[in-house]
Structure 1
């Protein structure tokens, strides 16, 4: 596949800083050298066009060079983070992987995987001779869905030059938002700052040290940032934009962020692994309402649920039926409310709790509970009930020495004039471990 236009852009930026990796400044020229080195490695290791290559690692100059060279070679790349190492054997089978490359800093190892011919949708795609990318859904139960993209369609949007900021690569290597960060930066001469870890104090230290301007992250991380108050120990004045997505932002958390960081623009984003990243515009910095659109994007609301048709949509799932209707519309399963050209997202239909025929949106309960001094973090979800169908439950992180019975009583008292009776948690569990996944997204599965 030809990526000459992208390599030409990177050549124009040759002397600019492209990446900060382990506190070392890396230029675009260095990334092009890594790309050239990987072209030679591909020949030496006999990596053929059309082979599926799994890449295990995180952002780095070497990984970036490998991605570019494999795309140019016409491969299907499968980026995965080290957090899913325990599932690698399963992922090899689902993605029909021929070879895997495992990165550790600047070093790597290549493993071969015996495989017969590719089958199904992947076989049909490879007959076209296109480079591709496979991403996995982040489901915590059952086999993850393998999402096949045509790389040429995903990269098309980056041919148009846009402004870029010094960006901290918070979103993981195998996340559609992380992929967007990488290619947007490469195509526009920006700089990525790679974090060695993603704790609040580490992130804040990097913002101060490397004058980060954009932090793309999740509401769960931002709530943790507020709770730990790690930002009080560092100079955050360089930060211009915090963009957030992947899950619903509680109003209370957004209000706190705007109060603590009045100089920073809070920007809601929207994207799905199946469709790519869409252009989104918040009504204002403190608003949960946003407008979704952009080139090649169409939206419609059916029975309160958002449907999208996109030119950057996936080819399909490798291990599940096509989710598109006959006209190419994708049901996002996101329940929304509409106000003119803006919409507010309340969460996935599967997360909404039906209590005796009445809907409870978890985020609306969470934003009330987060106002309690006893609550460090909380996840609200439903549990089956023979009487009501489901009841509301709350799983709480707290720093107090308190039992669940006492906390439940305090929650009921606090919610008395803030929530309807059917919205108040009937069961309360105290949990010490984090309430979010390795992608800093709330865990709502039972």
Structure 2
């Protein structure tokens, strides 16, 4: 496969249909030629501000069209846009900015004060640029760029988008996504979701998620109009789907639940909707059935993906959603997309027979270059003959469908957000009254799972559930903060001392299936 610069798609459509609508954001509509001009102005402004190949820019805001402009601008300068989860705590945001060694921080108005409070602890940051609001600096920054800008020489393995994933060490890691990996993802996604040049693609997932940034780049690659949603307000999103004639959209299952609760959800014009994707956590079967009734003419796609794979790599397609002969496949993660091979291996990396549970490994052009500044973590993730360890355990049936049965690294998925217990445990154990802790996911009808801390107290010490939650909330994002705390006299462990989280989970998951 010939690898093209990610911006070549923008050039193609700006030349082919310069006046057609390319992107929409609130009351903003840009044509393809105008959008390309703004991306080039962003790249020029990066250079004028001292950004060089290999540098990182940090972007902190809710969904904003300027984030896409910065990502594509970085693809021209040889830099990378490190998009930060705006839901993180101040300490976590500061950690990522410093880990990326960002020279520039582009920040939305709601988060400008937070970044200002961190400035003294951000040694590499040379400039902060506010985008949007009454104090917008972004437009003036674009205008100050040099018109003589020239793109850097193309290297398919240059990282231009750096997305952070939480790690089992308790600190997030920057997955480096490249022209090669995202070009491969574009091709797979376009074929897998039937994107066409007349598609209207809604981007509602956060752009700090691979499901936001990669979903948007896939639509752009085929010439589709992109509709960027700043935040998911159910009524407003449904209004936008109707008014814009959206054909393609992707949401986490919890959002579909919010839609179904809207009084007018079934009374709207969805005649143009062709593709509704979902993923990040399992779709409860009652919700799935209600969705099929509400959008009977739409094709539903369940996706299985990960940041390290530049997005989706396995899909349960529309025919499978309505296959009465195989209802069990509704709880599968579908089959790998063309270009990706998946195998199931044991703890020694040996391929297992069909039906046996092991770890999923993938081989694909879509996989990341590696983790920024983490050669050891990269070596653990990328193994053998270019295989990527997913960290997910499951089995493959004789039809090639993937069934995820557990989390190799105990990850919790709450409302589509990944929570690694080690991150939370690191904060809980800092409380003086806590001697030992295990963090697990417990079932929740709204979010799929929520975070629970199971705590052993120091002899003679006392602390309430509410006090521990307040302690965590000061240092963790809301979705990572435990929603409940249970107290035990000791945690179950195996002979080597490892906490047996499966034993802890049992009573909470009794009678329910644990999916990823």
Aligned residue in 2 for 1:313: 367
Deviation (angstroms), 1:300: 0.8
Alignment equivalent of 2:304, drawn from 244, 266, 270: 270
Give SS of 1:301's match.
strand
Aligned residue in 2 for 1:231: 265
What CA distance in whole angstroms lies between the structure 2 residues aligned with 1:386 and 1:21? 51
Aligned partners of 2:201 and 2:227 also within 8 Å: yes
Aligned partners of 2:62 and 2:230 also within 8 Å: no
Alignment equivalent of 1:136, drawn from 164, 168, 173: 164
Aligned residue in 1 for 2:404: 345
Aligned partners of 2:83 and 2:163 also within 8 Å: yes
Give the 3 Å change call, closer, same or farther, for CA 138–239 of structure 1 in structure 2.
farther
Aligned residue in 2 for 1:43: 47
Task: Find out whether 1:62 has 2:66 as its counterpart.
Answer: yes
Deviation (angstroms), 1:139: 6.2
- Superposed counterparts of 1:93-108, under 5 Å: 93-103=98-108
What CA distance in whole angstroms lies between the structure 2 residues aligned with 1:299 and 1:42? 39
What CA distance in whole angstroms lies between the structure 1 residues aligned with 2:386 and 2:169? 28
Deviation (angstroms), 1:175: 1.0
Aligned partners of 2:249 and 2:277 also within 8 Å: yes
Structure 1 gap ranges (5+):
117-126, 354-361, 371-375, 395-421, 426-441
What CA distance in whole angstroms lies between the structure 2 residues aligned with 1:49 and 1:327? 29
String of CA shifts for 1:142-193, please: whole Å, max 9, x gaps: 3212212333432355479763321211111111111212211221111122
What CA distance in whole angstroms lies between the structure 1 residues aligned with 2:158 and 2:36? 22
Task: Find out whether 1:326 has 2:384 as its counterpart.
Answer: yes
Give the length in aligned residue pairs.
373
What CA distance in whole angstroms lies between the structure 2 residues aligned with 1:9 and 1:271? 28
Deviation (angstroms), 1:299: 0.7
Aligned residue in 2 for 1:379: 449
What CA distance in whole angstroms lies between the structure 2 residues aligned with 1:62 and 1:230? 32
Task: Find out whether 1:280 has 2:315 as its counterpart.
Answer: yes
Deviation (angstroms), 1:36: 2.7
Aligned partners of 1:34 and 1:66 also within 8 Å: no
Aligned partners of 2:60 and 2:84 also within 8 Å: yes
Aligned partners of 2:80 and 2:162 also within 8 Å: yes
Aligned residue in 1 for 2:13: 10
- Superposed counterparts of 1:227-266, under 5 Å: 227-229=261-263, 231-232=265-266, 234-266=268-300
Give the 3 Å change call, closer, same or farther, for CA 332–53 of structure 1 in structure 2.
same
What CA distance in whole angstroms lies between the structure 1 residues aligned with 2:492 and 2:390? 30
Aligned partners of 1:153 and 1:311 also within 8 Å: yes
What CA distance in whole angstroms lies between the structure 1 residues aligned with 2:156 and 2:377? 21
Give the 3 Å change call, closer, same or farther, for CA 377–150 of structure 1 in structure 2.
closer
Aligned partners of 2:304 and 2:333 also within 8 Å: no
Which structure has more relative contact order (CA 8 Å, sep 6+)? It is: 2
What CA distance in whole angstroms lies between the structure 1 residues aligned with 2:81 and 2:447? 36
String of CA shifts for 1:37-67, please: whole Å, max 9, x gaps: 2233123222222211112235544333332
Deviation (angstroms), 1:290: 4.6
What CA distance in whole angstroms lies between the structure 2 residues aligned with 1:389 and 1:308? 29
Task: Find out whether 1:423 has 2:510 as its counterpart.
Answer: yes
Aligned partners of 1:131 and 1:152 also within 8 Å: no
Alignment equivalent of 2:181, drawn from 153, 157, 163: 153
Aligned partners of 2:156 and 2:180 also within 8 Å: no
Task: Find out whether 1:88 has 2:93 as its counterpart.
Answer: yes
Give the 3 Å change call, closer, same or farther, for CA 4–201 of structure 1 in structure 2.
closer
